[in-house]
Structure 1
Amino acid sequence: MRRILFLSIALALQAATTTATAQEAGVATEAIASQPLDRALNALSRQTGLQFVYGAQAAGNPETRAIPAGLPPEEGLKRLLAGTGLRHRYLNATTVTIEAAGAMDAPAPAPAVPGAAPGAAAVPQALSPVQELESVQVVGSYSRSLEQAVDIKRSNIGFSDSIVATDVADFPEQNLSEALQRMPGVTIERNKGLGTRVNVRGLPSEFTHVSINNLATASGSGGRDVEFDIFASEIIQQVTVQKSPTAADEEGGIAGSVLISTARPFDYDGRKLVASAEGAYNSISEQTDPRLSFLASDTRGDWGALVSFSKAERTNRTDSTSGINFRPMFRFLEASDPRGSQAAEVLERDAGIVVRDRTDRDETGRIIFQDKVGDRVYLNDQDKWGATASVQYRPSNRFSLTFDAMIGGYDTTEDEYDAAAYSASSRSTLETIHEYDATTLSEHGMVVLRDVSYTATQHEFLSKERINRTDYSQYSVAMDWKGDSWGIDAMLGYSGAEKTLDYANLKHVAYAPSRTRWTGNSGETVPSDNPGTIDMYDAPQAYLFEAYETTLEQVTDDKYAAQLDFSKALDLAFLPALRTVQFGARYTDKSKERQYGELKITGPAAGDTSWVDTRTLADSPLQWVSDIVPGGAYGVKDLDWRQVSNEYARGAFRYPGFATPFDEGQYYRVDEEVTSLYAMADFAFDLGSVPLSVNAGARYSDTAVLSFGYHPVQNADGTTGYTDSPVSRTGGYDDILPSLNMTAELSDGLLLRAAASETLIRPQLTDIAYKRTASWNSFRFTDGNPDLLPTTARQWEIGLEKYLENGGLLAASYFRKKIEGVVVNSLTGVVEDVAVYNANGTLNGRYDFDVYQPVNADGSYEVDGVELIAQLPLAMLHGALEGFGVNANYTRLDSSLAGESDLGIGTPMPGLAENTFNVTLYYDNDRFDARLSYNHKDEYVESIGYNMYPIWRDAYGQLDMSIGYRLTDSIKLTLKGINMTDEETGGYTMDPSFPTMYERSGRRISLGIRADF
């Protein structure tokens, strides 16, 4: 049988590259190096949108010459085929045959692809751009998705990494965040077994810019970071993490940019129908959760339409001990006597510690006791859905008009049942020190009290309920229009999210002597020798009702954008190296509004306090915690206790007509308008025998901020009020952001890549918000700061990439970032002679109030690192390994920033893990595929407790697996597993012998079926 090769560019590939606008405009954006014909045509197909057909036996696969970037398709083809004995011929506007120069001039029909609609793209999106026609499958394999990701990486002028539809959908991820963790330099933040936010190259999540279909994404968070757990991975077509920006990019992000694309109808070969169903079982909750998704797409002539939908439920239980942080001894020593003096006496009597000055925090902050111990059971119920729609008008490869829509909802209810002992209660002090440690942290002059009896521990039973509802939507219209040497791209879009957070906490408290100590991986509270002690887990009559606390928060997040780009291919005799120029403009209008309020219920009616200190825990119906939540016994300790269920509490304690009122002092709104202009150029030339491609440009961005918020005032009667209307402030700044990206083909398949740029990330909107909150007891005002400037970074990177046969890749790069203008809280002023009133309205006195604001810190810090990538189909080593492969990456980071510690304790940058790596071993053939994936993140500083003590999160590694078997060409059965080794999450303060938390979220096993037609 004659072997036919068919090459096509998928629009999904174009959307993921940083030069997508130029590619879709038909303008080549980088030189095509000398290489075999099939690879050269593959590259040209990506740049022009053309399809190429030829008979391999007749034409062969000769080595082609290098051609410069920016040539029109006709000229590029002529130069590419010069000297090969081949010629090209157009069959229609989008299909070109490659044939021997002596072939007959009569046009031959293009070979038909089974199931292809007339004029449709010839290769399904999930396939590599080059495939044998006879072996084209309806559903792409994992190895092919890796090849496609390598194609994207190679064609990008800058540093980037990608995953495409098969990779996103076929791993056992619970959301998009977990799908991204397998990419080089990407780690995720986990919360109770679920991936939430994304960190790129170890930097905080708010340093990453996120867009969907070229539109900055709203998720309703209080900052710039995107909450990835709200997005289902099934509705995402591909994701590129771009680490070196061009001038055409909206901002670039200090850590990087996450570019997300949803599917479009012309990504597929005519009609496409995909449906999948899955059931997932959690080993702790012992619940099975459904997950459904489908996609339908069709093209008819010039028109195409696509819809997709995904819905998933998730019930996950986490058993945890936490809250076991360091507490400085000045908590007791600064208390009035006799509490303060008794603490000093016990320290001297039992530990030989003589406190010289009870008010010197440099001294008393180095004497540590345990803050609290909490035994907690979390039950997290999620209901998530997402849908996309796309309508395309594409009369030719020169023009397309596309409408994209994405809507969805994320509802979660988290129940927390907490039995806690608060050692540092306001009524308590030291009674007996049973064990202390003066050696572990002696280099910092610190003594840790490991085992202590206290006079009046605050024991608590807390039934907490968190209800989070997020609705998001995004709509955009994109136009791509190209001529022989020019292209115009335009986009109009809207992204919005509305979030409501409803929180409740039923709190019962018992004060009694008890004993608290560290144990192997957490802590515990047991009865002390004091006659008044209690068994905190079995004394319901001792617990008095304190309050049923409620809070309500609503956030509205809206973003509008408009963009216009123009590109032009050039062929200048006086400057032949200049291939294309591109310039454009973008306008964005962002608005975020937040309402917040809280109210405590203390009786059966508004204003009633009759339940306080009279109603006990025993007066409510109690259930064993192992019965309230599914899954049985508490998995961290041999414990069980009785509490009030949240279902009962919501019905019993919220009296008729109850509503949580919003607090004017917590309101803010921030409006931000950004106008940007950019210009860039592509150059291609030879340096000796080495072809180089260079992209250089600059982006000018002008930002205007208008912020609103109420400010506190003291009324004449002594009550606290707020200004009658919001107080507004304006702010603004402008920036010029240069960028330079370069690639050099040192030899066949060996690419040297380099990049340098200046990037920024804008301050969080909560910090910009011009509102003032007052702490009357602390004599402090806290203000927002509309004058905040963005945090900026100057960065550069250099790397080598070796592209191997069959999609293999070996790559190494070194990067360095110098970051300036980090936002910190600082004392910025004093308001003198502020009247402070007592609760009864009498004047307490007049005081000077300190004013704290977020400001841009002076100085800078540096982050540098190394990334290594190995993607190897093992058949290149031996034919017996056909189908086997490995996909691995490793990132090592270092930072000059020391965490801020009032005690001078040096810490690395919070959130930065020095070492991360991911390894996936896979096998696939036409019927069967299997994958084992292990990802690891080193320990890192999570926060700095009391601005003194670094709190570490333990290193964490997780093994996931996926097995698939194709029952028919269209139906596939899958078995997936998350956290197969049942890893626990832990943390500690300064040394592992002082654990702060220990939690188990269990394994998750799913069985699914997928039909693809």
Structure 2
Amino acid sequence: MKSSLFVLSPLALALGSVLSVPVMAQDEAAAIEEIVVTGSYAKSLERAVDIKRNNIGFSDSIVATDIADFPEQNLAEALQRMPGVTIERNKGLGSKVNVRSLPSEFTHVSINGLATASGSGGRDVEFDIFASEIIQGVTVQKSPTAADEEGGIAGSVLISTARPFDYNERQLVVSADAAYNSISEKTDPKFSFLASDTFGDWGALVSFSKASRTNRTDSNSGINFRPLSRWTEKKGSSQWQSDQTIEVLARDTGVVISDPFDTEQTNRVVFLDKVGDRAYLNDQDKWGATASLQFKPSETLSLTFDAMLGGYDNTEDEYDAAAYSASSISALEQVHSYDNTTLADYGVVVLTDVSYAATQHEFLSKENVHETDYSQYSLSLDWDVANWQITGLLGYSGAEKLSDTSNLKHVAFAPSRSRYTDTGGETIVSANPQSIDMYNSPDKYLFDSYEVNLEEIQDDKYAAQLDFARPLSLDFLPSLAKVQFGVRYTDKSKQRNRGSNTVRGPAEGDSSWRNTRTLQDSDIQLISDLVPGGRYMKQLDGSPQWSQVGNDYARDTFRYSGFNVDFADSEFYQVDEEVLSLYAMTDFLFDIGHMPVTLNAGVRYVDTSVLSFGYHQVQNSDGSTGYTPEPVSKDGGYQEVLPSANLMMELSDDLMLRAAYSETLMRPALGDIAYKRTVSVNEFKYRDGNPDLKPTYADQWEIGLEYYLENGGLLAVSYFEKTIEGVVRESLTGVVKDVTKYNANGTVDGIYDFDVYQKVNAEGAYDVSGVELIAQFPLSMLHPMLEGFGINANYTMLDNSLTGASDLSIPTPPEGLADKTWNATLYYENAAFDARLSYNYKDKYVEVIERDMYPVYRDAYGQLDLSLGYQLTDDIKVSLEGINITDEETRAYTIAPVFPSMYEFSGRRFSLGVRASF
């Protein structure tokens, strides 16, 4: 038995905890555990299929072998191979999870039955903070029951960690590996272990994982549309900008602007606002630990204390060479080429190659330091007494996140020419004699500012739950097999503090450096020296090279003695949310003809109260100009009754019909509820929180067929529909008059009216429907010569009537929603060797609607990963893994692919590891 352990992942090692599934019998669970003990990838798939089969609703699961034995960098990437699950990537790293291609905020996440805090600004969980090695199993539940804390419009991700009585014998497993990134050319270590044992009625388990990651990303990005209203609305001393822009546009394109203040005309002529070349260096230190103390004096009583702790320190250096064509003191000089055909259906003309009068060239040295500490503690009770099954939970989940972000800016105003390329955009010298080579003119760049922002987020949640269930056998109602009811109370709080300090000189209040100190007065280095791995964009010929200030030098030089950042009252907010839930549900067992049927039906009552604190800007009461932050608070709440029903019918021994219906909700992000105001100067907008936001609701149903094959094989198809209402969108809700806006050089740009936008619940309902296909089976079913080979594949296709909020009425799906996703894994294994090749694909989706007008798409992306393992001895296994082995780039575009907005490389990643059991 011991030797077979080594085909498992470091924690899987843990031979497999029994996930909680409503209708799984004790002997079935024991059989599954024994399967995992004999351990292999194929066996772990069998176990996941057994969990799916015995769950009353639509669900899919993975266990520890599958979580950590694949190449991955965090928990998000470990989940991407599940049916209907895709991830959002940030510079090559999986960060958030999408279920059935719906936005990540539609997914509810819990660990050991407790909703998870992660320190993000919303309710979506930042999965990149979690080490996958400390996770024992994950179930994605796609059709809720009344007993669930939250259903999730997309689904619920239920994560479990290991417990000592999950195992038949003592466990002690250690693993280590080293991973190499092809761009940074750095090698990173990772280490993990698990130890578990039982002592009579008591059991104890600890696990630990620690990893470092250095990843470089090269990106031609930040390329976006800017409407010509940027200049056509200029007046007074800046009137020349409007006149020249309109004249050049008519001369070079034939497009005539009859009214410079008619945004229906000016917003449909767009140009490149910015072209940026960026090199990122991302350094991460991550650790995670679990502990479990379990008291189990009998098979009918178990009391368990679970703890999960971790830390995630992430420092990202960004070095940005950017040209802002839309400079506040610029205008069109010459239009070299334009496109009036690609977006003609929307009446949009794109100026694709333009010389500008005064581009704002910038070198930006940005340092983003994020430190996240998370913790979770829970005490759970499982007790069978007097024919009652009683379960209870007391828990706390919390995260603290401290962010120190800085931006050193040097600026040079000069004429230049910006244009689209196949991979993004470029800025070159124009015909104007005052034009400069933006990459090689350090004496032309003047110090503008060194801005430091400090943000602190505290995210806490307390929960208590008590459930009662009783199996029944009533003569007068023999089909009623079980009743269950319970109560749950949660108290969630999120608090944000933020402050900023801008340095313009060598001491507080001193601005002597501004517009006098040049870039070459600082210690500047080649970009290839600031980030490891050599030349910028070495994958492409002719990529630019430049020199700028390193972040270490910037921190030492510009944070003068006595420098500090104080939190500002106006930036504070806090939201407290209390939820009381009551539910009742029943299980019915009966036959229709010769076909057994299981029906679960129930209802949940939810009572939510919200109290939001913050500050609003109010006119100074002493008659002076300006605004002063004043504290304000508001309470609110809502009550809902949410029914659900899940049915499964055994059409034959191997064929199952499954159906489900539910009403569910996803609450708005606490950051959107909070009283706060942020400003986007370049967009002439304020954005306010909205304490009156209500949840987004969904009526959803699903029907599917599942055919269970031998040896854990599965063929499944399901069709689902969701009617979603109350979608949270940004909307214009007011105007602030006479706001003074300043240029980067300190001069007054002008006095403008700023629009006020808030998140609101959109009117009307929208439909989302989809088909999900699953094929999982050993290929030996097709021919004996294929013994050891197998396939695990799934495909999800979506159709929706949801539209994004484009002020120009450009049709667009909501942010984050992809039409097609699929995953396919081909594997082979024998007693000593295993290999897996996995491809994950996600169709294009909208990342953001730029300026609430132009949808920016993340292009379709597919990634090929590889895992090889060899059992050296009974006690030692070595593995070789590769991530993105074909070195795929990430692309984005605005509305159409001919207008690229990003071209990004994060490289390949290869790791060599060893595991041992003692």
Q: Report the TM-score, using the length of structure 2 for normalisation.
A: 0.94
Cα contact 2:882–2:909 (8 A) shared by 1? yes
Partner SS for 2:717: strand
DSSP-derived class of the 2:354 partner: strand
Per-residue deviation, 1:878: 2.2
> Within the alignment, does 1:161 sit opposite 2:64 as a pair?
no
Which of 95, 101, 105 lines up with 1:206 in the alignment? 105
- Counterparts of 2:15 and 2:573, CA distance in 1: 41
Name the counterpart of 1:517: 419
Conserved 8 A contact 1:791-1:823: yes
Report the secondary structure of 2:231's partner residue. helix
Greater alpha carbon shift after TM alignment, 386-395 vs 443-452:
443-452
For 2:177 and 2:884, locate their aligned partners in 1 and report how far apart those are by CA, in whole Å.
18
What's the counterpart of residue 221 of structure 2? 322
* Counterpart Cα distance in 2 of 1:262 and 1:364: 56
Larger Rg: 1
* Number of the residue aligned with 2:747: none
Match of 2:470 among 547, 568, 582: 568
Displacement of 1:189 in angstroms is 0.4
Distance 1:720 1:406, change over 3 A: farther
In the alignment, which residue of structure 2 is the partner of 1:398? 300
The structural deviation recorded for 1:270 is: 1.7
Distance in 2, Cα, partners of 1:341 & 1:793: 51
Provide the secondary structure at the position in 1 that maps to 2:440.
coil
Deviation at 1:661, TM superposition (A): 1.6
Alignment counterpart, residue 253 of structure 1, candidates 152, 159, 163: 152
**Cα distance in 1 between the residues matched to 2:291 and 2:17:** 18
State yes or no: 1:141 paired with 2:43: no
Cα offset for 1:16?
A: 4.3
- Do the aligned partners of residues 987 and 558 (structure 1) sit closer, same or farther apart at CA in structure 2, a change above 3 Å counting? same
CA drift of 1:770 comes to 2.8
* Structure 1 segment 360-371 matched on structure 2, within 5 A: 360-371=262-273
1:745 pairs with 650, 656, 659, which one? 650
The alignment status of 1:768 with 2:673, answered yes or no, reads yes
Distance in 2, Cα, partners of 1:895 & 1:392:
47
Take 1:756 and 1:167, find their aligned partners in 2: how far apart are those partners?
30
The answer as to 2:608 corresponding to 1:685 is: no
Letter in 2 for 1:172: P
Confirm whether residue 344 of structure 1 aligns to residue 246 of structure 2.
yes
| Match for residue 173 of structure 1 among 55, 72, 87 | 72
Give the distance between the partners of 1:760 and 1:799, measured in 2 at CA: 23
Structure that is richer in strand per residue: 2
How far apart in 2 are the matches of 1:864 and 1:611? 58
For residues 205 and 974 of structure 1, what CA distance do their matches in structure 2 show? 32
In the alignment, which of 177, 186, 194 is matched to residue 93 of structure 2?
Answer: 194
The match for 1:184 is: 83
Deviation at 1:719, TM superposition (A): 5.9
Out of 501, 504, 508, the residue aligned to residue 403 of structure 2 is: 501
Relative to structure 1, is the Cα distance of residues 375 and 852 closer, same or farther in structure 2, using a 3 angstrom cutoff?
closer
1:891 to 791, 796, 803: 796
Match of 2:3? Answer: none
Q: Work out whether 1:15 is the aligned partner of 2:24.
A: no
2:515 counterpart SS class:
coil
- 8 Å contact from structure 2 (residues 81, 840) kept in 1: yes
2: distance between equivalents of 1:780 and 1:1000? 33
Aligned to 1:228: 127
Q: Deviations over 1:744-776 (max 9, x none)?
A: 000011000000000101111011113456899
Task: Specify whether residues 495 and 687 from structure 1 end up closer, same or farther in structure 2 by C-alpha distance, changes over 3 A only.
Answer: same
Counterpart secondary structure, 1:338: helix
Contact kept? 1:518, 1:994, Cα under 8 Å:
yes
CA contact (8 A) 2:15 2:167 kept: no
Of 143, 146, 150, the residue aligned with 2:49 is: 150
Residue deviations 1:161-197, cap 9 Å, x none? 0110000010010000001110111111001000000
Matching residue of 1:377 = 279
Does the CA-based 8 Å contact 1:571-1:579 persist in structure 2? yes
Superposed, 1:772-791 pairs within 5 Å as 782-791=687-696
Query: Would the aligned equivalents of 1:827 and 1:853 in 2 still touch at CA under 8 Å?
Result: yes
Letter paired with 2:122: G
Correspondence for 1:756: 661
Asked whether the 8 Å contact 1:15–1:213 carries over to 2, the reply is no
List aligned pairs for 1:891-970, cutoff 5 A: 891-970=796-875
- Equivalence for 1:457: 359
Aligned CA distance change for structure 1 residues 901 and 658 (closer, same or farther; 3 Å): same
Whether 1:264 aligns to 2:156 is: no
Partner of 2:5: none
1:447 is the counterpart of 2:329? no
Contact persistence 1:276–1:1010 (CA under 8 A): yes
Q: 1:544 to 1:326 in 2, by over 3 A?
A: same
State whether residues 714 and 835 of structure 1, in contact with CA within 8 Å, keep that contact through their aligned partners in structure 2.
Answer: no
Question: 3-state SS of the aligned residue for 2:105?
Answer: helix
2: distance between equivalents of 1:462 and 1:998? 19
Q: Distance in 2 between matches of 1:177 and 1:218?
A: 15
Residues 505 and 579 of structure 1: CA distance in aligned 2, closer, same or farther (over 3 Å): same
Q: Secondary structure at the match of 2:651?
A: strand
Alignment of 1:595-614 (within 5 A): 595-614=497-516
2:582/2:605 contact within 8 Å kept:
yes
Change (3 A) 1:744 1:882: same
> Is residue 368 of structure 2 the alignment partner of residue 466 of structure 1?
yes
How far 1:332 moved relative to its partner? 1.8
Shift of residue 723, structure 1, vs aligned partner? 5.2
Partner amino acid for 2:370? N
**5 Å matches for 1:576-595?**
576-595=478-497
Distance 1:199 1:847, change over 3 A: closer
In 2, the alpha carbon distance for the partners of 1:775 and 1:969 equals 61
**Size of the alignment, in residue pairs?**
891
AA partner of residue 718 (structure 1): S
Listed one character per residue, the Cα deviations across residues 44-65 of structure 1 (whole Å, up to 9, x for unaligned) are 514xx6x68xxxxxxxxxxxxx
Q: Which residue of 2 aligns with 1:58?
A: none
Q: Deviations over 1:826-881 (max 9, x none)?
A: 345689xx898999xxxxx9999976432211101111100000001112222222
**Distance 1:606-1:525 versus aligned 2 partners, 3 A rule:** same
In the alignment, the residues of structure 2 paired with residue 321 and residue 490 of structure 1 have an alpha-carbon distance, to the nearest angstrom, of 53
Cα shift at 1:154: 0.3
Contact 1:351 1:436 survives alignment (8 Å): yes
Corresponding residue of 1:669: 574
1:784, CA displacement in angstroms?
2.6
Report which stretch shifted further, 899-908 or 983-992. 899-908
Instruction: State the distance in 1 between where 2:828 and 2:158 align.
Output: 28
The amino acid across from 2:19 in the alignment is A
Is the 1:13–1:152 Cα contact (8 Å) retained in structure 2?
A: no
Cα separation, partners in 2 of 1:729 and 1:558, compared to 1, 3 Å:
same
Whole-Å Cα distance in 2 between the matches of residues 674 and 443 of structure 1? 48
Are the structure 2 counterparts of residues 958 and 780 from structure 1 closer, same or farther at C-alpha, using a change threshold of 3 Å?
closer
Cα deviation per residue 1:528-581 (whole Å; 9 max; x = unaligned)?
A: 111111110110000000000111100000100000000001111110000000
Q: Does 1:279 align with 2:178?
A: yes
Question: Match of 1:94?
Answer: none
Does structure 1 retain, via aligned residues, the 8 Å contact 2:729–2:805?
no
- Cα 1:732–1:428 change in 2 (3 A) is same
Which residues in structure 2 correspond to 1:862-877 (within 5 Å)?
A: 862-877=767-782
Q: 1:11 to 1:762 in 2, by over 3 A?
A: farther
Matches within 5 A, 1:694-709: 694-709=599-614
Match of 1:718 in 2: 624
Q: Percent identity?
A: 67
Cα distance in 1 for residues equivalent to 2:655 and 2:741: 75
Deviations 1:932-964 (A, max 9, x none): 000001112222112221211111000000000
Per-residue deviation, residues 195-251 of structure 1 (Å, max 9, x unmatched): 000111111111110000000000011110000000000000000000000000001
**Uncovered stretches (5+) of structure 2, i.e. residues with no partner:** 1-13, 743-749
